[in-house]
Amino acid sequence: MNQKKLYIDTVGCQMNVNDSERIVTMLQPLGYTQTQRRHEASLILFNTCTVRAGAEECLLQNIANLKNLKRKKPGTLIGVAGCVAQQMGTELLQKYPWVDLVFGTHNLHLVPEMVKDAEQGRRRAETDFLDSSERLDLFPPIEGRKRVSTFVTVMQGCDNFCSYCIVPYVRGREISRRFDEILHEVQGLADQGLREVVLLGQNVNSYGLKGEEQPPFAELVRAVAVVAGIDRVRFVTSHPKDMSDDLIACFTDLPKLCGGLHLPAQAGGNRILKAMNRGYSREHYLETIAKLRQARPGIKITGDMIVGFPGETEAEFEETLSLMEEVRYFDLFSFVYSPRPGTKAAELSDDLAKEVKLARLDRLQKLQAVHSRIHNEAYVGSTQQVLVEGLAKRHGQVSGRCDSGRIVNLAGSPTLIGKLVDVKILEGYANSLLGELL
């Protein structure tokens, strides 16, 4: 079989990262192996994100730039996957005649036949949404995962319709994957030697909430935590409104459940939270954080924050800063609000000047930098258990994560990869820690 090279450019959330791994697996029988060098690719795929306008514009520019490459190397196939593909569909084929295949978020299973068609010169766009029963049979395995830690998809889609967010429109309705299949996959990963699983979903903790076919998420976490060979369990991303007491209790009951949680608030004031349709108040959010800290003292909370939502006043922005002061996030992903056509918030009048929004983002990020540094410096002198995941960028060092998820680099040989080791923390930097093996 010919060795064909596949180059995938993945942007956006972990769901996309996971989907890209599936695509790599699905194209192996067709003779494709993954390459990190675009110039040697016989198939270039963009796995895309449409959550913010900037990422979409950048993608379209990248696709436009491939016109010349296609002229010079007409045999190179070009494909678009993910949320932009879902949204634009055939428009991408029309606008960019050098694109060969476009497949949406429910059409991953069609990739092998679409690539075969493209190899025969047949261009296709597939963006139909499937119903839940069909989708449940379409979680193809990811093979060849030689890593120490990996994602396991447990649910897909989103029914929350936050007013600013395009995801429910491009990812479709929520479905929870079959409980037994998830456990089977996790056991298989443990048998391959993986030590950590990260349960993945757009709203991972709404697993099992729609219908009675699957148990609640807390039960799934408990079942995964007893799989022999798995030493660590994490999950991402959780919605604050679905953070049940049972799930919070898992942080007390399950030592294998790591002490870091991504719980995006998105804003600090109740009027904005309501306008965002987030389904919780500031008070409820803070109460949840307090319960989590009681369940697992020292738990590290990370989050997302949107600055400059339409109509956000200075006082409301200050509420976001004060929420940050109360929560003291470990890390925070923060963005200026980006209107997405088709969402409710895009219809709101937005007269806040761009400079004001950028200045607010700057203030927020400076505050977060202080908080992150305080967290990191507090590690200095402590002993952390680190799961070594691979080589660090610096020669002679390996890299892993401590319980909270913070990256720890330490001098050591590659034989440490895959091991849980005790590490004394020597330095705390902005985004990582430096330690030494004990």
Distance of CA 350 to the CA centre of its chain: 28
Task: Determine, following the binding rule CB under 6 A, whether residue 168 of this chain makes contact with ligand SF4.
Answer: yes
How open is the CA angle 204-301-19, to the nearest 5 degrees? 35
* Residue recorded with tokens 């339409």: 310
Task: Determine, following the binding rule CB under 6 A, whether residue 160 of this chain makes contact with ligand SF4.
Answer: yes
Residue 261, strand partner residues: 301
Task: Determine, following the binding rule CB under 6 A, whether residue 49 of this chain makes contact with ligand SF4.
Answer: no
Contacts of 226 (CB under 8 A, 6+ apart): none
- Which residue lies nearer to ligand SF4 by CB, 10 or 203? 203
- Which residue lies nearer to ligand SF4 by CB, 150 or 238? 238
How far apart CA 18 and CA 140 sit, in angstroms, is 11
For ligand SF4, which residue of 22, 234, 239, 360 counts as binding (CB under 6 A)?
239
- Integer angstrom CA distances of residue 135 from 106, 112, 126, 156, 173: 7, 17, 15, 9, 11
Distance in Å, CB of 309 to ligand SF4, minimum: 12
Distance in Å, CB of 113 to ligand SF4, minimum: 29
Distance in Å, CB of 253 to ligand SF4, minimum: 26
Strands 397-401 and 383-391: antiparallel
Task: Determine, following the binding rule CB under 6 A, whether residue 135 of this chain makes contact with ligand SF4.
Answer: no
Distance in Å, CB of 343 to ligand SF4, minimum: 9
Q: How many residues does the chain have?
A: 438
Contacts of 379 (CB under 8 A, 6+ apart): 402, 406, 425, 428, 433
How far apart CA 112 and CA 99 sit, in angstroms, is 16
How far apart CA 396 and CA 409 sit, in angstroms, is 10
- Which residue lies nearer to ligand SF4 by CB, 5 or 239? 239
DSSP type of residue 257? B
Query: Is 165 within any annotated ligand binding site?
Result: yes
For ligand SF4, which residue of 167, 197, 230, 425 counts as binding (CB under 6 A)?
167
For ligand SF4, which residue of 107, 150, 203, 238 counts as binding (CB under 6 A)?
203
Task: Determine, following the binding rule CB under 6 A, whether residue 267 of this chain makes contact with ligand SF4.
Answer: no
Segment interacting with ligand SF4 (CB under 6 A) among 52-60, 96-104, 158-166, 307-315: 158-166
- Which residue lies nearer to ligand SF4 by CB, 267 or 425? 267
Query: Is 402 within any annotated ligand binding site?
Result: no
Segment interacting with ligand SF4 (CB under 6 A) among 96-104, 157-165, 311-319, 417-425: 157-165
Distance in Å, CB of 206 to ligand SF4, minimum: 9
Distance in Å, CB of 275 to ligand SF4, minimum: 13
- Which residue lies nearer to ligand SF4 by CB, 168 or 311? 168
How open is the CA angle 283-285-291, to the nearest 5 degrees? 100
Distance in Å, CB of 161 to ligand SF4, minimum: 6
For ligand SF4, which residue of 102, 115, 162, 416 counts as binding (CB under 6 A)?
162
For ligand SF4, which residue of 129, 161, 169, 179 counts as binding (CB under 6 A)?
161
Query: Is 83 within any annotated ligand binding site?
Result: yes
List, in sequence order, the alpha helices (H) in 330-410: 354-378
Contacts of 120 (CB under 8 A, 6+ apart): none
How far apart CA 273 and CA 320 sit, in angstroms, is 10
Contact criterion met (CB below 8 Å) for 425 and 382 = yes
| Count of residues that interact with ligand SF4, criterion CB under 6 A | 10
DSSP E strand stretches across 142-195 = 149-153, 155-156, 175-176
Task: Determine, following the binding rule CB under 6 A, whether residue 158 of this chain makes contact with ligand SF4.
Answer: yes
**Which residue, among 331, 366, 400, has the nearest Cα to 149 in the 3D structure?**
400
For ligand SF4, which residue of 23, 85, 165, 392 counts as binding (CB under 6 A)?
165
Task: Determine, following the binding rule CB under 6 A, whether residue 202 of this chain makes contact with ligand SF4.
Answer: yes
Return the number of other C-beta atoms located less than 10 Å from residue 91's C-beta: 11
Interacting residues with ligand SF4 (CB under 6 A) = 158, 160-162, 165, 167-168, 202-203, 239
Q: Tell me the binding residues for [4Fe-4S] cluster.
A: 13, 49, 83, 158, 162, 165
